[in-house]
Amino acid sequence: MTKEKRQITIFLIFSFVLLVIPFSLRESYLLNVMVFIGIHTMLAVALNLLMGYAGQISLGHAAFFGMGAYISGIFTTRFGLDPWLVIIMAALCAAAIAFAMGFPILKLKGHYLAMATLGFGIIIYIIFNETVNWTGGPSGLSGIPNLKIGELVFDNDFHNYYLVWIITLGVMLLSINLSQSRIGRALRAVHDSEVAARVMGINAWVLKVQIFTVSAFISAMAGSLYAHTMTFVAPASFGFNFSVELVTMVVVGGLGSIYGSFLGAAILTTLPEFLRVFEDFDIIIYGLMLIVITMFMPGGLISGLQLLSQKFFLKFKAKADKGA
Amino acid sequence: MLRAKNITKTFGGLTALDDVTLNVAAGSITGIIGPNGAGKTTLFNIITGIYTQTAGEVYLDDENISFFPPETLARMGLVRTFQNVEMFGQMTVLENVMVGLHTKSRSGFLSCAFKLPRQIREEKLIKEKSIRWLEFTDMTDLAGMRADSLPFGKSRLLEISRAMALEPRIILLDEPAAGLNSRETLQLAELIRRIRELGITVVLVEHDMDLVMDICETIFVLNLGKKLTQGTPREVQENPAVISAYLGVS
Ligand SMILES: Nc1ncnc2c1ncn2[C@@H]1O[C@H](COP(=O)(O)OP(=O)(O)OP(=O)(O)O)[C@@H](O)[C@H]1O
Ligand SMILES: [Mg+2]
């Protein structure tokens, strides 16, 4: 099997499993968790394109997620605009802000970039809180309509599951394609040696701004979906803690792996549901996870899984050879 | 073809280059030699747009490229390798060379994400060409290996393959023989000659005198940021100033 065929097979199996889950998982609560995993996967993939591929950190990505959620919330509740239209508008708007901001901010490196994105995230968070007339302030914005296509209204977990996962799978597929193209190679080149990448004719600065823009676009889209599935948004979901949670998803799952982002999103979404300690100590636990993973498994859990499956495969092969 | 005119570069109080002028004839192999800290790498960094000079100008075919960034120069056909090997360590050897074809390909974000037919064709072409450049440097058997697990000598070769994939008009090599054994150095000399036969101008910074004297037509000698002399290998070898610079006598 060629590498390409294997990848397509993996993606098809992955999609198939996800798309049949609702039929075996009639329990609404678990479906609801899966909807969140989908939204978080989209966000983790978006951040991974920036962090894992281009090697640029963002500690303010929750802001783009929030922009999508609020723009969708505000424009559908106050102006009665078509929700689908607003989703596109919100994503474009977040992308435009990322693009404009990216040029100065992505000149910065390392800690400075981390600080700048952190500051950006905090400013946007304050705006969500303070522009009470628009956002409803700390108490949030409610009454956001569910999405619908014709007669089909996405107003229950079963419907939302498909809404979110079809889009998430699409985002994953496009990101996998991108990561394996000349653009993906250019991103990884900038990550490994920016100076060599530039000598190879890659405009590292512009490329970083472009991927930052794409990342913001996807994040805002996730935010819009979040607003329409929850029908309620409040600033607390888009603060610094959530930005750190996103970084943790990407690192725990695996920098530079799209499936890793799914894994990271799944783990970080499920754990708090079952471990109540998360409620008070979330940021400490994220910190610990980040430290442990960076020290002992820099490729993230997905690299551990790959290693395991390789070992298993080799053993299996050895046995088969012996048998023959 | 390449002209650096009266280049001066200071780092704080330190003058790394002092009024240095360099002329490289089209189609030649030009050597730059000098003791450690002479300013050779700094000169390369200025020519390739990585550093900005304090004074002076750089011309490529009569075009003033003094303030052009490296990515623009790459598109103009000027490329280099690095003294402290700068590979894309997490990628395979083949992918490293494929990055070298970045300027030769055009697919944008959308055609890459949606795998449009044009992008698939282009990707195939990039791969084929890259394999050919690996053949050129005799590295095809290493194509699938991760670049950061290459032995040192091979990583220098990889940098050259990657630079060649750009199909440059001029290539600047910063100590390509450093860390190579004598057999590898002989192969390198032969490789550099083959590069020149393709019509590509070569500028070579090197400490290996045998190699420099063997393949260069013109040699520039730098010492403590100043140009000491220039000439044919023979002239340079017989120049007493050069001998004393290398022996550390003033
Ligand atoms: N970025 C920098 N900042 C400060 N000083 C620098 C910098 N780059 C080079 N120098 C100084 O400039 C001088 C020339 O350095 P350069 O690396 O050009 O020498 P070189 O001729 O390439 O030496 P070598 O043969 O050891 O590679 C040295 O004294 C070095 O310390
Ligand atoms: Mg040097």
Q: What is the pLDDT of residue B250?
A: 46
Confidence of residue B166 (pLDDT cuts 50, 70, 90): very high
Same domain, residue pair B54 and B29: yes
Q: Residue A207: its chain B contacts at CB < 8 A?
A: none
- Quick check: is B107 in a domain? yes
- CB-CB under 8 Å, B98 with A200: no
Domain boundary among B115, B140, B167: B167
Of B142, B167, B192, which residue is a domain's last?
B167
User: Does some domain include residue B140?
Assistant: yes
Determine the distance separating the centroid of ligand 1 and the alpha carbon of B247, expressed in angstroms: 20
- A191/B113 CB distance under 8 A: no
Q: What is the pLDDT of residues B44-61, one digit of tens each?
A: 999 999 999 999 999 999
Ligand 1 atom 6: the closest Cα is on which residue? Answer: B11
Evaluate whether residue B23 is within a structural domain: yes
How far is the C-alpha of B110 from the C-alpha of A277, rounded, in Å?
A: 43
**How many whole angstroms from B75 Cα to the centroid of ligand 2?**
24
Q: Collapsing DSSP states into helix, strand and coil, what is residue A153?
A: strand
Q: Ligand 1 pocket: which residues have CB below 6 Å?
A: B 11, 14, 16, 34, 36-42, 83
Q: Is the model more confident about B16 or about B245? A: B16
Q: Which domain holds residue B125?
A: 88-167
DSSP SS3 for A157: helix
Q: What is the pLDDT of residue A309?
A: 84
Helix segments in A106-192, DSSP class H: 110-130, 132-135, 157-179, 182-192
The residue in chain B having the minimum alpha-carbon distance to the alpha carbon of residue A181 is B112
**DSSP three-state, residue A40:** helix
> Are B178 and B246 in the same domain?
yes
Q: Reply yes or no on whether the pLDDT at B31 is more than 90.
A: yes
- Torsion-angle region of B136 (φ positive above 0: left; ψ -120 to 50: alpha; else: beta): alpha
Q: Please tell me whether residues B218 and B242 are part of one structural domain.
A: yes
Q: Each residue of B198-247: pLDDT tens digit?
A: 999 999 999 998 999 999 999 999 998 899 889 998 888 888 888 887 76
A198 and B71 in contact by Cβ < 8 A? yes
pLDDT of residue A1: 62
The pLDDT value recorded for residue A324 is 52
Do residues B174 and B40 lie in contact, with contact meaning Cβ atoms separated by under 8 Å?
yes
Q: Which residues of A touch B160 (CB under 8 A)?
A: none
DSSP character at residue A149? E
Distance in angstroms (rounded) separating the CA atoms of residues B49 and B234: 32
Which of B107, B112, B146 best probes binding to A when mutated, by most A CB atoms within 10 angstroms?
B112
> Within this chain, do residues B143 and B196 fall inside the same structural domain, yes or no?
no
Domain boundaries, chain A: 3-240
The reported pLDDT for the residue numbered A280 is 76
Q: How far is B168 from chain A (nearest CA, A)?
A: 10
Say if the Cβ atoms of A174 and B114 lie within 8 Å. yes
Write the DSSP assignment of A41-101 as a string of letters. HHHHHHHHIIIIIS----S-THHHHHHHHHHHHHHHHTS---HHHHHHHHHHHHHHHHHHH
- Over residues B135-162, mean pLDDT: 94
pLDDT of residue A131: 92
- End-of-domain residue from the set B167, B194, B219: B167
Same domain for B174 and B234, yes or no, is yes
Over the Cα atoms of chain A, what is R_g? 20
Mutate to test the pocket of ligand 1, among B7, B9, B10, B14 (most ligand atoms within 8 A of CB): B14
Same domain as B173, residue B141 = no
Could you give the number of structural domains in chain B? 2
Q: pLDDT by residue for chain A (324 residues), tens digit each?
A: 678 888 899 999 999 999 998 888 777 788 999 999 999 999 999 999 999 999 999 999 999 999 999 999 999 999 989 999 999 999 999 999 999 999 999 999 999 999 999 999 999 999 999 999 999 999 999 999 999 898 888 988 889 999 999 999 999 999 999 999 999 999 999 999 999 999 999 999 999 999 999 999 999 999 999 999 999 999 999 999 999 999 999 999 999 999 999 999 999 999 887 777 777 788 888 889 999 999 999 899 999 888 888 888 788 777 777 665
Same domain, residue pair B214 and B153? no
With a cut of 70, say whether residue B248 has pLDDT above it: no
A155, A174, A237, A280, B147 from A139: Cα distances, Å: 23, 37, 12, 21, 53
pTM for this model (two decimals): 0.94
Nearest residue of chain B to residue A172 (CA atoms): B113
B98 with B153, same domain: the answer is yes
